[in-house]
Structure 1
Amino acid sequence: MPLNYLLTGSTGGLGSLILDYFTTHFPPTQESSTTNSITYAAASSNPSNSHRFTSKGIPFRTVNYDDPETLDVAFKDVENLFFVSTNTFDVEKRRRQHLNVVEAAKRNGVKHVWYTSLAFGGLGSNSKAAVQQAHYMTEDMLRESGINYTSIREGIYTEAFPLFLNWYPQSTTLYLPSASGKIAFTLRSELAEATAKLMLKGGHDKEIVLLTASEPVSMQDIVEVINETTHREVKIEIVDPETYVRVNGENDIGGKAEGFFRQLVGWFESIENGEAGFTDGLMGEVLGREPVTPREAIRGLLEKERDYTWHQNYSK
């Protein structure tokens, strides 16, 4: 029996929200994986996660990007594969993992791969951001494989704004290499909804699409929102890249090492060059409403929790 949708990354931030959309609109039953005319299954690399899904009537498949055998089992009879990019910074490891997924999808006759890419450079292919190169590489794999695909270039999560500022509730001065470049920050919750709707509607065959909020903001804009909303007096001090790496690496409240900030220097260069500021109207069309702007979203996060934090701002 065909499986209409296999949702990888179902224990992750974006993937779990997409699965929530499916279960809300197509409630699973304990008796069958058939849910109101569509079938779907959750997927994770860890088989021990199965019970958290099957206990709710949601079918589960193990998908380990490092193990082609699990991919062959998981991708059997799958029509639409939601392919979450791996989060490793090791480019060669990512290349190998993603190639395993693409080859297994082709081998098992997956009809449509929906890949989560990133929005640096908008719809073009000229971004210099190192993080974007891995996504270009995967898009090339998909294109060369001949299988049907849609690469969804998604805006940077608004919820992650503290990571880019290296802002913590106790911060007073933020040391950054630049602050005027703009980012089309986009709520992860809205990205999940739009991605789910995009997959359910179908189409966009062999296309690259861009999902973003409609208005980019700068780091300075965000600090103004922080100060207005929480009555703080946070300020930005612009420093050279080496000072940025050293000062933040030595004093980071979250315990992140200098290497982390050294990687972010490249991100800031791309942001300053306008690569993260691209916007597109597709997200509003898919949602049926205007996406929440970054200013509104950040204000909402801080009104709900004055001392808002983002988990990735802390070393594991």
Structure 2
Amino acid sequence: MSKILITGATGNLGKATIERLLQMLSPNYIVGFGRQENRNKDLADKIEMKYGDFDDVASVDRAMEGIEKVLLISTVDHHRYQQHRNVIDAAKRAGANHISYTSVAIKDVQASLVNSHLESHIQTEDYIKGSGLSYNIFRNSLYTDVIPIYVGQHVFEQGIYLPAGSGRVAFALRSEMGEGIANALMQKGNENRICHLTGRELYSFSDIARVLSEISGKTIPFVDADPNTFPDKLKNLGVPERMIAIISGFTGDIRNKQYEIQSNDLEQLLGRRPSTLEQALKLIYH
């Protein structure tokens, strides 16, 4: 049986993937790699954990010892393409034969309002394809889990105010994406495949407001904010510049229908339908 290394193991997607792998595989075959020893400490009681940083090539090389499969969960650092290359190169040096990567499901990265943040996904995909390793690329839709960040902590009192227009997203739960990825890691015969991990249905923020209204018994309005003045409003609220750029950019991409991508890949990997928006939001706001 192949030893599998999960990077980003102390993060939410990494942990979800590991939890599913533990249902199918002896913990002796699972190795986690993370930055923070004090995060998700319970993982160290279940599997072998190694700690380091993608910028520290020696720590990545140590994590790769005896590894045959690697799941590279993308980082959020501004220089992540180089970090990803460090992992891919280390996998080759260690004699690994397969790498999987978590990318993004978007129609046109070049036209994205957060192009500078997303183009590294495409660069990483291309580097993997040219590495000589077999691969799976998981292009993930936006997580349902991040909806609370977009709508704010006072959504049930103030409603939703975003410049997202009528754009829709096939949101999916991070836990189900992790489960699907783990299932794919255990499968044979699906190498060199690109999977789009999305929900089954497309939802707008008007739909989110409707579902939150049904859940809460309150009327939650959605106000389509002016994209031109929205960043200034966030700035006046004390939101950091980098976060303003990210929120404005992603909601602008939603408005421009960049995330209107539907696929049944996640359903096939799960062996069941992914959670609906209502099911997921009930779980998040339980």
Taking structure 1 as the reference length, what is the TM-score of the superposition? 0.82
Equivalences for residues 65-214 of structure 1 within 5 A: 65-88=54-77, 90=78, 93-121=79-107, 128=112, 129-130=114-115, 131-169=117-155, 171-214=157-200
Correspondence for 1:247: 233
Opposite residue 34 of structure 2, the aligned amino acid is: S
The residue aligned with 1:310 is: none
Secondary structure class of the residue paired with 1:289: coil
The match for 2:277 among 294, 308, 315 is 294
- Asked if the contact 1:246/1:258 (under 8 Å) is kept, the reply is no
Deviation of 1:52 (Å): 4.2
2:254 aligns to what?
Answer: 271
Alpha-carbon deviation of 1:167? 5.0
Query: Which amino acid in 2 is paired with 1:87?
Result: V
Which segments of 5 or more consecutive residues in structure 2 lack a partner in the other structure?
none
Residue 51 of structure 1 deviates from its aligned partner by 6.8
The aligned runs of 1:280-291 (5 Å cut-off) are: 280-291=263-274
* Distance verdict in 2 for CA 1:50–1:228, change over 3 Å: closer
Q: 8 Å contact 1:183–1:218 — kept in the other structure?
A: yes
- Where does the alignment leave 5 or more consecutive residues of structure 1 unmatched? 34-38, 305-316
Would you say the 8 A contact 1:156–1:184 is kept in 2? yes
Find the counterpart in structure 1 of residue 215 from structure 2.
229
Deviates more, 1:15-24 or 1:229-238: 229-238
In the TM superposition, what is the alpha-carbon distance from 1:65 to its structure 2 partner? 0.3
Counterpart residue type for residue 67 of structure 2:
V
**Counterpart secondary structure, 1:120:** coil
Q: CA RMSD in A?
A: 2.3
One-letter amino acid of the counterpart of residue 150, structure 1 = N
Which residue of the partner structure matches residue 14 of structure 1?
13
Q: How far 1:119 moved relative to its partner?
A: 1.3
Worse-matched range after superposition: 213-222 or 41-50: 41-50
1:17-36 map, 5 Å: 17-28=16-27, 33=28
Contact preservation (8 Å) 2:155, 2:220:
no
Distance change in 2, residues 1:296/1:179 (3 Å): farther
Of residues 212, 217, 236, the one that matches 2:203 is 217
**CA 1:119–1:50 in 2, change beyond 3 Å: closer, same or farther?**
closer
Q: Distance in 1 between matches of 2:39 and 2:249?
A: 36
Indicate conservation of the 8 Å contact 1:113/1:150, yes or no.
Answer: yes
